[in-house]
Amino acid sequence: MQPLRGTKDILPNEIQTWQAIHTIANNILNIHNYQEIRTPIIENTELFERSIGNFTDIVNKEMYSFYDQGKRNITLRPEGTASIARAFITNKLYNEKSINRLWYLGPMFRYERPQKGRQRQFHQLGIECIGSNMPIADIEVIKLATDILKQIECKEQYSLEINSIGNLQERERYKVDLVEYLKKYKHELDTESKNRISKNPLRILDSKYIKTQEILKNAPKLKEYLSNTSLEHFEIICENLTYLKIKYKINNYLVRGLDYYNYTAFEIKTNNLNQQNTICGGGRYDNLIEQLGGPKIPAVGWAIGLERLIILMQENLNQKIKKNRIYLAVQNLQTSDILWDIIHILQEYQIKFELDLSNNNLTKQIKKANQLKAQICFIIGENEIKNRSITIKWLQTRTQQTIKLSNLRKYIKYLKTFNNLT
């Protein structure tokens, strides 16, 4: 049996990486007063249609939608922001605080052609800062993305690209002129862009086709349609990024694939030239919550694709993994209730151990402890059971000694102090 195309098992030897990412995110975000939120994986299809936009790739061709037994039209969430905006409204989180800082980590689903860094079930870590229209919120959010990437120690260089896409009115005026210009070159555009002229002309700006890019060079520029308010918002962000020594590049062609963004749009890309080089995407969305039936509350956020991030991570994160330090070799599993007293103490001192469950003879069990590279083997043979004692064998030096169970706590305290036992 194979897993579904575009889905993957995350195996025990990878899980520590995932947990480490969760811990790093939790630590950094917690300090900044971001709180974790977990929303359902299934939502009404309408939520995504109304937020992400009907002419976007996601809604148009990538959603996993189905009818349930109650004939409800349901979708496996393709991203996190729409669900969080929904949860924010449903639970009236705005009544509790004027600023809600939220973060999430979980699986997302998009029907796409699977390739390196592109799956049908993938994971995003994301944050949303809801309740402020100040540029400082955008800066806090961008800074947190770079802080997390720094702590995770990507082995490759990455760069931040930002743009201002203005507000809805500014974009509408721009769209009219852009479409008029592009229509003149319609026959020279790539097929995808040709289709987008009527449906989603802004997305043509980030076309990967050289010919289309050339045509765009002389097209009207979005920047020239922005009001002073939009431009000022953007300038403040740029100035602060400079102060924070966060390197950025202004990319006038950067537009995000989702309809709900305004003002700030940004991406973090690796310098790797393969197609899946965007690890983080985000921006400001001041109208989404109102559009979904909530109050008019502005917000800004981002999402990082974790599969892509993990490809870039340095292996050293794995070296911090706790090894099994103690192996428990027991002669007669059935009658050795002393075993539970030992386990109780190891648990109390938070020492990682593994109990041999084979019922093999002791020699074989000790051999296993060596193979597994345990530090110490606790041997509990017949004599030990009779005398309520433990033989402690140091596997590297092969020295051993027998102690009374009643002295085990003292012995472990000694180990923890002098032998760096964790």
* Cα–Cα distance measured from residue 384 to residue 388, given in angstroms and rounded to the nearest whole number: 5
Least Å from the CB of residue 282 to ligand ATP: 7
Nearer to ligand ATP, 3 or 70 (CB): 3
Q: Which two tokens stand for residue 176?
A: 């009219």
Residue 117 vs 131, nearer CB to ligand ATP:
117
d(CA 280, CA 160): 9
Contacts with 285 (C-beta within 8 Å, 6 or more apart), sequence order: 81, 85, 260, 261, 262, 298, 299, 300, 301
What does 298-321 look like in DSSP terms, one character per residue?
-EEEEEEEHHHHHHHB-GGGGGGP
Q: Which is nearer to ligand ATP, 119 or 262 (CB)?
A: 119
Closest approach, Cβ 95 to ligand ATP, in A, equals 30
Cα dist from 115 to 6, 110, 119, 137, whole Å: 8, 13, 7, 35
By DSSP bridging, strand 353-355 and strand 326-330 are: parallel
Q: Which is nearer to ligand ATP, 118 or 367 (CB)?
A: 118
What is the binding site for ligand ATP (CB under 6 A)? 79, 110, 112, 117-119, 122, 124, 257, 276, 278-281, 303, 305, 307-308
What CA–CA distance (Å, rounded) separates 413 from 395? Answer: 19
With beta carbons less than 8 A apart as the criterion, state whether 380 and 390 touch.
yes
Indicate the residue among 159 and 375 with the shorter CB distance to ligand ATP: 159
Q: How far is the CB of 421 from ligand ATP (least distance, A)?
A: 40
For helices 228-243 and 135-152, the axis angle rounded to 10 degrees is 40
> Which position's Cβ is nearest ligand ATP?
305
What minimum distance in Å lies between the beta carbon of 206 and ligand ATP?
Answer: 8
234 vs 261, which CB is nearer to ligand ATP? 261
- State which residue, 140 or 259, has the beta carbon closest to ligand ATP: 259
- Closest distance to ligand ATP from the beta carbon of 259 (Å): 12
Closest contact distance (angstroms) between CB of 239 and ligand ATP is 26
Shortest approach of ligand ATP to residue 411 CB, angstroms? 49
Is there a contact between 297 and 129 (Cβ–Cβ < 8 Å)? no
Instruction: Using alpha carbons only, give the angle 310, 285, 291 rounded to the nearest 5 degrees.
Output: 125
